[in-house]
């Protein structure tokens, strides 16, 4: 596990520039560093030692004749199998790392290497003789890879902040991304909030040569639902593939621990992994803490659990540093909690298992039940439902019971469902609140995805959209960045090629039977863990934002930011302040107004903007400079 940064193109003081880029990502790899520099390219690497702890495992890695050089972030879980095949073909290995498999694999198979990989990865290979760069990202998007072409230079790396150290990088805010951010709570495309900076999408690779870039998609999930097996046989298959995936994800020369909530995903992984340590965080707010349930479960399977109660003060006081580590704002309050969770785990271990991806693969989100419910209302002609939905959006007060239902069911699935996030801004609301207005283009983002699964059932369509949007730009983004902020590797056994192959064959009835979700997965889990946990309804990561925003200290923090110059530049601040006051006080005695997610989305953006654009160059939080 590590981070890398580099560039192709001419610049003075190449070594000094690369060193500065590498220093910004030292948190991703504090154990060692390495670099390759020639007159055309520079590749820098920071290492967190997990497999082959010796210096022999340091990157960059070269092939036998040193004509190709690699930097790599991630883990290749089938590297031993690939190594045997490559050795039989005559390749000579000098280490026991999975990294070296990539450089020899590229020699042997070229771009087809990516079809053979099982793991999480982002890597770059520089062909010294051909002056050609090859870069690839894993099929789920577990590991990040950013790039920018500007001023006759290609910049690439694990985190955007490293680009700011290069003299040919133009740091310009991409205001065009703001509209979609307000609706999705993240930027849902390959664009970023930095103009000209893009993220390579999952299952893609690119080649760069003579100033030209070619991007290729090499993998796409295909949900067939075509298994002919009985439910009992499928449950056995789930159990078998998950056991094997967890074993693969435990390959390490250091201890592997596990995150643990009170839900089925992390609990099942914890049991299968038989880890020594588990870690949990929560809040001293009753229903906003899963600590007690997690401790009870850990005790039931004879495992140790380390838990931390996050105070409101430390949650809010760390927001600016957390946005620094994130690179881009993600307005999911759980991202902040993950920072503290990874910080606790990093005190004892370097690697943890985590349950991301099970909901997208096995049908776990509660909203997936919605197309299977309320079928009576949905029989009303769509034209009438559209009128009712428009009336609800324009005329009914926010927070009124039934308003959201009418709005959602006044639209087709393709019109209403764009990500597993609720209570964020509609396009109409985003246009009202942005000073210059916007064209968020939600449909422009989602239509190509829906077009590729037009013949599937509603739940499968939602899964497909979430796999490409919510999972990539929210779940995995915060998982990687918050873990790496604390030099912690987060492994996700549900997001495994073999697990996906099985999940793609599950028919609807094995995924969702409203109100029950993840039917087959829960069936497998219930064979080995207690029913109370296996059958628990999905809770998410509960954060008391709604409560805090009604309290004076945090209300005042947000109010001050809503009155800042940045807020005035981009937003109609009168609407912002009214939204904040309505949430704190309620519009009237008969209405409970919950604007917390909208407020938080804008506040997090402003905190991020202040860190990256408000004071010039953002400063590493471990330095005593602000």
Q: Which residues are marked as active site?
A: 2
The CA distance from 249 to 156, in Å, is 27
The CA distance from 196 to 410, in Å, is 37
Find, among 561, 556, 555, 553, the residue nearest to 610 by Cα. Answer: 561
User: Which residues share a beta bridge with 140?
Assistant: none
Find, among 245, 243, 261, the residue nearest to 536 by Cα. Answer: 261
CB 133 within 8 A of CB 208: yes
Residue 405, Cβ density class (10 Å: 0-12 exposed, 13-18 middle, ≥19 buried): middle
The CA angle 579-180-460, to the nearest 5 degrees, is 110
The CA distance from 397 to 556, in Å, is 25
Phi first, then psi, for residue 587 (nearest 5°) are -65, -40
Strands (DSSP E) contained in 252-389 are 256-259, 277-282, 304-309, 351-353
**CA of 65: how far to CAs of 23, 69, 91, 128, 204, in Å?**
30, 10, 11, 11, 28
CB 343 within 8 A of CB 616: no
CB 352 within 8 A of CB 487: no
CA atoms within 13 A on the CB side of 299: 7
E strand or H helix at 85, and its extent?
A: helix 79-88
CA atoms within 13 A on the CB side of 52: 16
The total of other beta-carbon atoms located within 10 Å of residue 447's CB is 13
With H, G, I as helix, E, B as strand and everything else as coil, classify residue 350: coil
The CA distance from 75 to 73, in Å, is 7
DSSP state of 111: G
CA atoms within 13 A on the CB side of 91: 23
Find, among 439, 437, 484, the residue nearest to 120 by Cα. Answer: 484
Max Cα distance, the chain (Å): 78
CB 120 within 8 A of CB 74: yes
Phi first, then psi, for residue 66 (nearest 5°) are 55, 35
CB 500 within 8 A of CB 360: no
CB 594 within 8 A of CB 423: yes
The CA distance from 195 to 176, in Å, is 9
With H, G, I as helix, E, B as strand and everything else as coil, classify residue 132: strand
E strand or H helix at 61, and its extent?
A: strand 61-62
The CA distance from 344 to 259, in Å, is 10
């Amino acid at each position: 596990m590590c981070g890398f940064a580099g560039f192709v193109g001419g610049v003075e003081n190449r070594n000094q520039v690369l060193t500065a880029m590498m220093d910004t990502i030292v948190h991703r790899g504090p154990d060692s560093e390495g670099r390759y520099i020639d007159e055309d390219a520079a590749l820098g690497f920071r290492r967190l030692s997990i497999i082959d702890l010796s210096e022999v495992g340091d990157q960059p890695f070269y092939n036998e004749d040193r004509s190709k050089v690699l930097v790599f972030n991630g883990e290749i879980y089938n590297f031993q199998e690939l190594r045997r095949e490559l050795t039989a073909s005559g390749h000579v290995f000098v280490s026991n790392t999975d990294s070296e498999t990539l450089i020899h694999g590229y020699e042997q198979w070229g771009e087809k290497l990516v079809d053979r990989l099982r793991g999480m990865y982002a890597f770059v290979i520089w062909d010294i003789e051909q002056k050609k760069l090859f870069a690839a990202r894993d099929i789920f998007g577990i590991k990040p890879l950013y790039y920018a072409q500007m001023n006759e230079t290609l910049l690439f790396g694990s985190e955007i902040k490293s680009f700011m150290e290069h003299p040919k990088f133009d740091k310009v805010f991409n205001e065009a991304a703001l509209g979609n951010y307000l609706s999705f709570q993240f930027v849902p495309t390959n664009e970023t909030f930095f103009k000209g900076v893009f993220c390579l999408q999952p299952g893609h690779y690119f080649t760069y040569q003579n100033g030209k870039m070619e991007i290729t998609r090499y993998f796409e999930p295909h949900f067939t639902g075509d298994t002919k097996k009985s439910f009992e046989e499928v449950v056995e298959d789930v159990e078998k593939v998950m056991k094997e995936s967890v074993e693969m994800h435990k390959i390490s020369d250091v201890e592997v621990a596990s995150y643990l909530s009170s839900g089925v995903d992390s609990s099942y992984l914890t049991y299968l992994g038989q880890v020594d340590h588990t870690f949990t965080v929560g809040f001293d707010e009753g229903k906003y803490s899963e600590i007690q349930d997690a401790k009870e479960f850990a005790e039931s399977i004879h495992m140790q659990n380390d838990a931390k109660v996050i105070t409101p003060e430390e949650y809010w006081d760390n927001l600016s540093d957390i946005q620094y580590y994130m690179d881009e704002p993600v307005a999911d309050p759980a991202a902040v909690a993950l920072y503290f969770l990874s910080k606790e785990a990093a005190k004892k271990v370097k690697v943890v298992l985590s349950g991301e991806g099970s909901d997208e693969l096995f049908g776990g989100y509660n909203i997936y039940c919605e197309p299977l419910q309320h079928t009576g209302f949905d029989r009303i002609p769509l034209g009438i439902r559209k009128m009712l939905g428009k009336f609800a959006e324009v005329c009914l007060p926010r927070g009124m019971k039934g308003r959201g239902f009418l709005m959602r069911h006044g639209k087709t699935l393709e019109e209403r469902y764009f990500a597993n996030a609720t209570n964020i801004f509609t396009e109409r609301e985003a246009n009202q609140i942005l000073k210059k207005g916007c064209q968020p283009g939600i449909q422009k983002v989602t239509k190509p995805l829906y077009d590729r699964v037009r013949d599937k059932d509603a739940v499968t369509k939602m899964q497909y959209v979430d796999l490409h949007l919510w999972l990539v730009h929210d779940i995995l983004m915060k998982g990687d960045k918050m873990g790496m902020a604390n030099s912690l590797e987060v492994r996700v056994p549900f997001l495994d090629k073999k697990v996906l192959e099985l999940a793609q064959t599950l028919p609807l009835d094995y995924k969702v039977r409203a109100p029950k979700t993840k039917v087959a997965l829960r069936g497998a889990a219930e064979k080995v863990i207690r029913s109370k946990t296996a059958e628990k309804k999905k809770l998410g990561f509960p954060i008391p934002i709604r409560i805090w925003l009604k309290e004076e200290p945090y209300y005042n923090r947000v109010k001050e930011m809503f009155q800042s110059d940045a807020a005035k530049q981009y937003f109609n601040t009168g609407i912002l302040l009214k939204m904040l006051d309505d949430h704190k006080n309620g519009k009237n005695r008969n209405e409970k107004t919950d604007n917390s997610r909208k407020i938080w989305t804008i506040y997090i953006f402003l905190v991020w903007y202040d860190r990256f654009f408000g004071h010039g160059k953002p400063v590493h939080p471990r330095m005593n400079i602000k």
